[in-house]
Amino acid sequence: MEQQPERREGRSFPERKGQKRKLEEGVAVASSEDREISTDGGDAILNEIATQVSVLNSAFSWQESDRAAAKRATQVLAELAKNEDLVNVIVDGGAVPALMTHLQAPPSPHSDGDMAQKPFEHEVEKGSAFALGLLAIKPEYQKLIVDKGALPHLVNLLKRNKDGPTSRAVNSVIRRAADAITNLAHENSSIKTRVRLEGGIPPLVDLLEFSDSKVQRAAAGALRTLAFKNDDNKNQIVECNALPTLILMLGSEDAAIHYEAVGVIGNLVHSSPNIKKEVLSAGALQPVIGLLSSCCPESQREAALLLGQFASTDSDCKVHIVQRGAVRPLIEMLQSPDVQLKEMSAFALGRLAQDSHNQAGIAHSGGLGPLLKLLDSRNGSLQHNAAFALYGLADNEDNVSDFIRVGGIQKLQDGEFIVQATKDCVSKTVKRLEEKIHGRVLRHLLYLMRISEKSIQRRVALALAHLCSPEDQRTIFIDENGLELLLGLLGSTNTKQQLDGAAALYKLANKSMALSPVDAAPPSPTQRVYLGEQYVNSATLSDVTFLVEGRRFYAHRICLLASSDAFRAMFDGGYREKDARDIEIPNIKWEVFELMMRFIYTGSVDITIEISQDLLRAADQYLLEGLKRLCEYTIAQDITLENIGGMYDLSEAFHAMSLRQACILFILEHFDKLSSMHGQNQLVQRTIPEIREYFCRALTKSTTNLQGLRL
């Protein structure tokens, strides 16, 4: 049910789109006397590339003119490579091997002469590393550059600071080498491994303590990439004792540094429980929590994701994260305009909320409202992480009243959930809440329903209609006036409130019907005697004849006397039919009368929709309650949005209680469609008294039935 956000490998700060910006920082722009590079015209570009490649191939020496030309050539190629559309052309033009040559210093001349001051020392190597890093942005050229032998040279450049005093030029070449390694290894597992085999990890770890912050950042960025989904690299980074420095970097005031540091730690921890323990033991927890309040959204995002990963280790860690102050900043992040920031904080809170000690604290700190609001998101991952966090919070009965008070049940019911996993999670959350509606939770909700403002009273009544157990229905909705709150919603001028009230009443009706079939036919006041099918309209032993539409129908007084009070009065009372041999029956069709008599003789009859209403009139006239209910049942199957008004009128005209109840349930079930139809709202308002009476009767009977079952 849980859905973990995908951890990103990360190439640069703050985003991959900033990769070129990162590589371009600090690059010397061609001097003013140099002509501008034009990217207009294919031939001119091809010529430019060919010229610079030729210069690089012929200028590998310490001669000042060669060094100046080589420096200029690397800058031109780098400038062109900033346009990704030109990268293919540059590579096809032979730039890779030419640049590769200049990743190392030229061989020293036989005579030192005046070489104490080497021209453009480190700068040509820096330019070559920079240009190759830009070409490596295209994945298809990563292997090509590595296969040409770039990695050993780049690793050597990482160690340039060990060859002599540091300078701005030394810092720059180291940084460009680290950036190039980052790009070459990005999403390329085999190259990540080759970097380790070439010995690239130890110098990168050493550079985390370098005095230049840009070098620190570049080294951390490379380690972040190398650690992503590569267990051997992760282990070597930890073995090189990178953790203490990385944790110190988390507290840097430089956002770029703590962003890269938290990214490295996140990738080290990802799917590596043992490293996770080492990171926690090394003291990372509090600095990571501190980053939740960073001014850098990227660092906040990474910190929240990392805390979520920490929280999966064990319950103690979950509790420690909360104790150290993570909850409030995470809740604040839920309200950020940054979608990814909201997703990561919801993920972290979801993990934390799986511990019972944390659940009430998160809700008490104001987490419920923002998490419920995120259910409206159209981002499936964000929506799911919020739903999972709410599932955790619903496990604590201390949260149930707050969940309902802020409208959580309606949010869960009304939400449009994008993926099935979220729908399943929400369904389980509702089930969790339902299981807790008893004892002190129910008492608290009833208290809120008595003393709170009207809107909260209604929310409680709505929620309880869906969640309460049948044995509590009478207490909630009759004794505590919950029914009137729901009926008040039904009579509201607000369509949404009407819809909510109707849905709640329909749910309540279904629950009560399962225990109290209020529409069952009442027992006959007289004992039934069924003569059987063979005596229907049979002259055998017949002692009375009915004239219907001019046709004779043979009947038997004993059967009729036992069937209803109407026939008993006809034959036992002072009516003229008492002693009559032939009795005329006006205003009833033959087929209707025949069906009515068949029911009297057999106790059952097949009723079609076409004849059901006429048969209902006859059954009502002759007080045949059993037949009347059968007719009502048949008629109820034909209720539609278009005829519901007429059906309700019919139920009133013949006091057809079962049909009337069917109309009420239909109105409640299809209220959303009825509310949009002209004139139907008047029908709804007209039925409210009957709805009240129906529920008073149904809820009272359901409680009586339950008590009887217990006895």
Mind giving me the DSSP string for 126-165?
HHHHHHHHHHTTSGGGHHHHHHTTHHHHHHHHHTGGGSS-
pLDDT of res. 28: 37
Q: What are the pLDDT digits (tens) for 408-466?
A: 999 999 999 999 999 999 999 999 999 999 999 999 999 999 999 999 999 999 999 99
The residue-averaged pLDDT of 575-591 equals: 78
Give the residue among 7, 218, 43 at the shortest CA–CA distance from 130: 218
What is the reported pLDDT for 517? 44
Amino acid at 286: Q
What is the model's pLDDT at position 558?
86
Q: What is the pLDDT of residue 571?
A: 80
- Calculate the CA dihedral of residues 296, 300, 306, 310 and round it to 10 degrees: 130
Task: Evaluate whether 553 touches 593 at the Cβ level (below 8 Å).
Answer: yes
CA distances from 694 to 511, 654, 663 (A): 13, 17, 11
Which pLDDT band holds residue 39 (cuts at 50, 70, 90)? Answer: low
Per-residue model confidence as pLDDT tens digits over 645-669: 999 999 999 999 999 999 999 999 9
Q: Among all chains, which residue has been given the structure tokens 């929709």?
A: 609
SS3 547: strand
Asked if omega into 106 is within 30° of 0 (cis), the reply is no
- Give the chain's length: 711
What pLDDT digit, counting tens, does each position of 486-530 carry? 999 998 889 899 999 999 999 999 887 754 444 444 444 444 667
Q: Is the CA virtual torsion 581, 584, 590, 594 positive or negative?
A: negative
On whether the CB atoms of residues 500 and 491 are closer than 8 A, the answer is no
Phi, psi of 583 (to 5 degrees): -120, 120
- Give Cβ neighbours of residue 423 (< 8 Å, ≥ 6 apart): 417
Give percent of the chain with pLDDT exceeding 90: 75
Q: In whole angstroms, give the CA distance from residue 623 to residue 562.
A: 12
Average pLDDT, the chain: 88
Return d(Cα 134, Cα 183) in angstroms, integer.
8
Tokens 């912050």 map to which residue?
Answer: 213
- Averaged pLDDT, 361-383: 95
Half-sphere exposure in the Cβ direction for 345 (13 Å, CA): 30
> What is the percent of the chain where pLDDT is above 70?
88
User: pLDDT grade, residue 3 (50/70/90)?
Assistant: low
Token pair of 529 as six digits: 């005697």
pLDDT digits (tens, 9 = 90+) for 598-607: 999 998 899 9
pLDDT digits over 185-224, tens only? 999 999 999 999 999 999 999 999 999 999 999 999 999 9
Beta strands across the sheet bearing 551-555: 551-555, 544-548, 582-584
- Sorted by sequence, the CB contacts under 8 Å of residue 168 that are 6+ apart come out as none
User: What average pLDDT does range 5-14 have in this prediction?
Assistant: 61
Could you give the CA distance from residue 588 to residue 280 in angstroms, rounded to a whole number? Answer: 89
pLDDT for 37 beyond 60: no
The string over 371-396, giving b where at least 16 C-beta atoms fall within 10 Å of a residue's C-beta and e elsewhere, is bbebbebeeebbbbbbbbbbbbbbbb
Element spanning 203, H or E: helix 201-207
Question: Coil, strand or helix: which one is 602?
Answer: helix
Within a 10 A sphere around the Cβ of 31, how many other Cβ atoms? 8
Burial profile 246-268: b = 16 or more Cβ within 10 angstroms, e = fewer: bbbbbebebbbbbbbbbbbbbbb
DSSP-derived secondary structure letter, 479: I
> Residue 577: which pLDDT band, with cuts at 50, 70 and 90?
low
Rounded CA-CA distance 437/228 in Å is 46
Contacts of 159 (CB under 8 A, 6+ apart): 203
- State the residue for tokens 């620190």: 216
CB 126 within 8 A of CB 24: no
The answer to which of 45-49, 76-80, 166-170, 391-395 has the lowest mean pLDDT is: 166-170
What pLDDT does residue 703 have? 56
Tokens 């600095």 identify what position?
A: 287
The vertex-487 CA angle with 446 and 704, nearest 5°, equals 60
The pLDDT, as a whole number, for residue 166 is: 81
Pairing of strands 544-548, 551-555: antiparallel
The residue type at 314:
D
Rounded alpha-carbon distances, angstroms, from residue 475 to 99, 397, 435, 443, 471? 84, 21, 18, 11, 8
Per-residue pLDDT, averaged over 623-642, amounts to 94
The distance from CA 159 to its chain's CA centroid, rounded to whole angstroms, is 48
pLDDT band at 133 (very low <50, low <70, confident <90, very high): very high
Among 6-10, 168-172, 430-434, 505-509, the range scoring the smallest mean pLDDT is: 6-10
| Pairing between β-strand 544-548 and β-strand 582-584 as defined by DSSP bridges | parallel
* Tokens, residue 688: 């409210």
Q: Which fold has domain 519-606?
A: Potassium Channel Kv1.1; Chain A (3.30.710)
Six token digits for residue 452: 């709170």
Q: Tell me the three state secondary structure of residue 36.
A: coil
The whole-angstrom separation of Cα 624 and Cα 612 is: 14
